[in-house]
Structure 1
Amino acid sequence: MVFKRRDRRSPLQVLWELIWPRGGWTRAFHYVKHRVRRLPDSPERIARGIGAGVFASFTPFYGMHFVIAAVLARVINGNILASLSGTFFGNPLTYVPIGVISLQTGHFILGTHFEEGSEHGLMGKFASAAADLKNNSVALFTDQGADWHALNIFFHEVFYPYMIGGILPGIVAGAICYYLSLPLIRTYQQRRRSKIKAKFQAIKKKAEAALPNPENPG
């Protein structure tokens, strides 16, 4: 097939490129920045879209950040494509600090606490919740009893505090990215329009120079 990849990637390579893209995150960041700047929309709408995408990165709904960003961008009249690019703020390099900030903020707001320890740590709660989810799915088709204890702990100590705690830092980070990106996008678009205008003027001058002068036909 014409569009088939010549270098077939293994599942391990695909997974690794999700964590560390080809060329590194710096190159990926500059690519996303270049694509955002060239979006055919007003700087305000693009900046609002970026802010929506950044906010979505602070939600615990992993795998749905694109959907959340697009819906939020639509609500605040932002550029949807820019919002999808804004979710780049949440990546394997920032997930840990985002998660820690959101969890700590959530428990502070709710007045609760997160139980530490080897058996009750964050990864342990994730593993126990995943095991409960798997066992309860099996229980739907067998005589095995369902047990929601680990999922209940995960919801009250991880998911719910994360969801509540991610709102405030998400708004702050989204607002900062909005105000930082707005002048940059506006300046870039003005320079781009100036360059395009200069090119058209140069083409026009060449075309006029190539035309015969009616006052000096000979």
Structure 2
Amino acid sequence: MLFRRKIPLNLWQKVRQGLWPKSGWSRAARYVWHRLARLKDSAHGVAAGVASGVAISFTPFMGFHLIGAMGIALAARGNVIAAWIGTLIGNPWTFPFIWVAIYRLGSWMIGNRMDEGAHHLSFDLLVHHPTAALGPLLLPMAIGGLPIALISWFVCYWLVRRSIERFQAARRIKLEMVRKRLPKKEGRAVSQDMKRA
């Protein structure tokens, strides 16, 4: 394989890399941005995809985020790959904050006091009867997640679309400048690249 490591990582090193990248979060974020900006789709497609992934991360249905992101992206005519990248907003570092926010908002929306749902929970109940234990938590989280997901979809869509449009415009200008400096044959190849961008 092209970029395989000479010395493979063991399980602990893989977990540590997943939670805290060796190269840092800023480099990982730049890599994700470049992957998004270079997707072969319109600014609307990429923005709708990312917004769908971000929105689904504000729901408590953990195992279904990728499927849900794909469904929302297809309904919004967005890019599915961008939607899956957008689900990265929900990760082990952000989920505790997301869950607390959507639980509190959902409890407020249905009129529960904050401690009513979690008051009767215990470790034994969670282990032996998980469905009975999660019911009082899941309903407020699902209700509270909907408005946050909707707002985050529109905010994320607007921000990503503007950024992608700027990136694509700058890339077209750069390719046009390169095309003008090259001989005719090579210039035609760059023009075709511009049309794809």
TM-score range for the pair, normalised by the shorter chain length: 0.7 to 0.9
TM-score where L is the length of structure 2 = 0.82
1:154-210 residue CA offsets vs partner (Å, 9 max, x unmatched): 222x222212211111111121111111111001101111111221221127989xx
- Structure 1 residue 83 corresponds to structure 2 residue 83: yes
- The aligned runs of 1:130-169 (5 Å cut-off) are 131-132=127-128, 148=129, 150-156=130-136, 158-169=137-148
Aligned length: 186
Identity %: 32
In structure 2, the partner of 1:29 is: 29
What runs of 5+ residues in structure 1 fail to find an aligned partner? 133-147, 209-218
In structure 2, the partner of 1:188 is: 167
Equivalent pair of 2:108/2:114 in contact (CA under 8 Å): no
Q: Rate the CA distance shift 1:196–1:104 in 2: closer, same or farther, 3 A.
A: same
Partner of 1:171, secondary structure, is: helix
One-letter amino acid matched to 1:191: A
One-letter amino acid matched to 1:175: F
1:22-41 residue CA offsets vs partner (Å, 9 max, x unmatched): 32222211111111111111
Distance in 2 between the 1:62 and 1:176 partners?
Answer: 22
1:126-174 residue CA offsets vs partner (Å, 9 max, x unmatched): x742x22xxxxxxxxxxxxxxx3x5313222x22221221111111112
Distance in 2 between the 1:56 and 1:10 partners?
Answer: 32
One-letter amino acid matched to 2:55: F
Distance in 1 between the 2:125 and 2:12 partners?
Answer: 25
**Aligned alpha-carbon RMSD (Å):** 2.7
Partner of 1:87, secondary structure, is: helix
Equivalent pair of 1:50/1:83 in contact (CA under 8 Å): yes
In structure 1, the partner of 2:98 is: 98
Higher fraction of helix: 2
Q: Rate the CA distance shift 1:57–1:30 in 2: closer, same or farther, 3 A.
A: same
